[in-house]
Amino acid sequence: MTGPLKIGIAGLGTVGAGVVKLLAEHNRLLSLRGGRRLKLVAVSARSRTRKRDIDLAGVRWEKDPLALATAPDIDVVVELIGGSGGVARRLVERALRSGKHVVTANKALLAMHGAELAALAEKRGGILAFEAAVAGGIPIIKALREGLVGNRVTRLYGILNGTCNYILTTMRETGRDFEVVLAEAQAAGYAEADPSFDVDGIDAAHKLAVLTGAAFGAKVNFAGVHVEGIRRVTSMDIGFAEELDHRIKLLGLARETPYGIEQRVHPCLVPLTAPIAHIEGVFNAVAIEGDFVGKTMFQGRGAGQGPTASAVVADIIDVARGRHMPAFVVPADRLADKKAAPMARHVGAYYIRLMVQDRPGVIAAVSRALAQERISLESMIQRGRSETGEVPVVLTTHETEEARMQRALSRIAKLKAVAEEPCLIRIESF
């Protein structure tokens, strides 16, 4: 096609404004790379009067974002509103039904409705592209669709939330606890006023569900993700992890097992010999293991105006080129409806931190609880006396089944000498 690609953008927040800037500043370069001119025709946002530091001269303002979905002078709708339902979902569905292409950064929408949106796009002949929905400026979806398409993915894992990685990094560097560092992150703009979406693991779980669908050719199954956040990780745990030559990271992990696809988001002890242990601050990283390529890792900024806008515009260029590819690598009607592996079936090693009364027989009682589930200890760290009479005891185990560990932990928590709920963190080997 030689005519311009006509673009409508819904949502002019940080990312939307970044896309407008990028389209303006690199217009000639993007037209050369896309094979046709890119023309921003219309935009829509909640407030027209808000100061945004972008030039919208000659661009039509639509009060109702849904108008973009049916406007005859728009070829591609860029949805940057966010949320798994509401106007964002209606806009994307209506645009695809109208035969338009859709570019979105909306991981929540894709995590909840990805398979049906992919099917709708293919039925109507449109492109559904979402590079910006996972890991910001890291081209991980493109890697799965193109560079790694010759492989059967055996496992993927990654740091998928920059806020959590920043908090854990700062806790390690300063020795301060979670609540203090969270408050600092909010003041610095790295964490939202309500941080639960990030620190409770939901954001990372949305991204993992989308990645899993693309990597394993499966219907996106957010409900099948086991999710834990970082609220219970203490500076004490971070210090013990370092002592054990490990580092604590919030990871999203997925792999196929005999019981189905295992999807997990939770804090992990990662060995210092693993490259992902050294991804710090607000950076993200995704590792893919394929049967022919082996191990690969992609890293970069996982959020922010520039990186996310870069990913959005990369998808727009693919639309300009007419690159029709299945949204989740294989055609939507061939996406497998795979079972979610029960978390109880997970097998791995564990870190357990207990706060116990400093008196004889405590370690023996804890050991009996583990022995009843045939759980073997690898190491133990026991600290000396304290003024309160409570001391930390850290245990690491050999590999065992999650169900066994949870039963043993339940017994340990009921011991009179155990002063607070045990802290459990899974140990990963890469």
Nearest to 98, CA basis, from 115, 76, 65: 76
* Domain shared by 298 and 319, yes or no: no
* CB distance 118 to 327 below 8 Å: yes
Residue 338 lies in a domain: no
Q: What is the C-alpha separation between 256 and 259, in angstroms, rounded?
A: 8
* Domain shared by 365 and 314, yes or no: no
Give the mean model confidence (pLDDT) for residues 113-120: 97
pLDDT number for residue 407: 98
**Mean pLDDT across the chain:** 95
Residue 340 lies in a domain: no
pLDDT number for residue 66: 98
* Domain shared by 163 and 259, yes or no: yes
Q: Check whether 1 has a pLDDT greater than 60.
A: no
How buried is 109 (Cβ within 10 angstroms: 0-12 exposed, 13-18 middle, 19+ buried)? buried
* CB distance 216 to 256 below 8 Å: yes
φ and ψ of 269, to 5 deg:
-90, 120
* Domain shared by 102 and 148, yes or no: no
Q: What is the C-alpha separation between 90 and 112, in angstroms, rounded?
A: 14
* Domain shared by 362 and 385, yes or no: yes
pLDDT tens track for 155-179: 999 999 999 999 999 999 999 999 9
**DSSP states along 28-79:** HHHHHHHTS-EEEEEEE-S-SSS--S---TTPEE-SSTTHHHH-TT-SEEEE
Tokens, residue 355: 């706060």
Residue 169 lies in a domain: yes
pLDDT band at 384 (very low <50, low <70, confident <90, very high): low
How buried is 3 (Cβ within 10 angstroms: 0-12 exposed, 13-18 middle, 19+ buried)? exposed
CA angle centred on 171, ends 296 and 169, rounded to 5°: 20
pTM: 0.95
Q: Check whether 310 has a pLDDT greater than 90.
A: yes
* Domain shared by 130 and 156, yes or no: no
Question: Residue 255's beta-bridge partner residues?
Answer: 155, 262
Give the mean model confidence (pLDDT) for residues 322-335: 94
| Cβ contacts of 71 within 8 Å, gap of 6 or more | 8, 41, 42, 62
Q: Check whether 2 has a pLDDT greater than 90.
A: no
CATH code of the domain containing 180? 3.30.360.10
Q: Check whether 385 has a pLDDT greater than 80.
A: no
CATH code of the domain containing 118? 3.40.50.720
pLDDT tens track for 13-53: 999 999 999 999 999 999 999 999 999 999 999 999 898 99
pLDDT tens track for 247-286: 999 999 999 999 999 999 999 999 999 999 999 999 999 9
The active-site residue, picked from 6, 39, 100, 207, is: 207
pLDDT number for residue 393: 95
* CB distance 305 to 15 below 8 Å: yes
* Domain shared by 127 and 146, yes or no: no
Residue 335 lies in a domain: no
Residue 337 lies in a domain: no
Our count of domains for the chain comes to: 3
pLDDT tens track for 353-374: 999 988 888 999 999 999 999 9
Residue that is last in its domain, among 294, 328, 362: 328
Q: Check whether 207 has a pLDDT greater than 90.
A: yes
Q: What is the C-alpha separation between 418 and 208, in angstroms, rounded?
A: 35
Nearest to 132, CA basis, from 318, 262, 336: 318
Tokens, residue 393: 């005891």
Over its C-alpha atoms, the chain yields an Rg (Å, rounded) of 24
Q: Strands, E, within 105-152: which ranges?
A: 128-129
* Domain shared by 116 and 255, yes or no: no
Tokens, residue 62: 């639509």
Q: What is the C-alpha separation between 15 and 111, in angstroms, rounded?
A: 20
Residue 377 lies in a domain: yes
Q: What is the C-alpha separation between 226 and 200, in angstroms, rounded?
A: 12
Q: What is the C-alpha separation between 269 and 277, in angstroms, rounded?
A: 9
pLDDT number for residue 383: 76
State yes or no: is 207 an active-site residue. yes
pLDDT tens track for 61-90: 999 999 999 999 999 999 999 999 999 999
Residue 102: domain span? 5-134+308-328
* Domain shared by 111 and 175, yes or no: no
φ and ψ of 321, to 5 deg:
-80, -10
pLDDT number for residue 358: 82
pLDDT band at 386 (very low <50, low <70, confident <90, very high): low
* CB distance 211 to 328 below 8 Å: no
Q: What is the C-alpha separation between 194 and 94, in angstroms, rounded?
A: 31
Question: Residue 264's beta-bridge partner residues?
Answer: 226, 253
H or E element that contains 262: strand 260-271
pLDDT band at 326 (very low <50, low <70, confident <90, very high): very high
% of the chain exceeding 90 in pLDDT:
90
* Domain shared by 109 and 231, yes or no: no
Residue 336 lies in a domain: no
* Domain shared by 279 and 374, yes or no: no
Residue 333 lies in a domain: no
CATH code of the domain containing 414? 3.30.70.260
pLDDT number for residue 387: 64
* Domain shared by 127 and 24, yes or no: yes
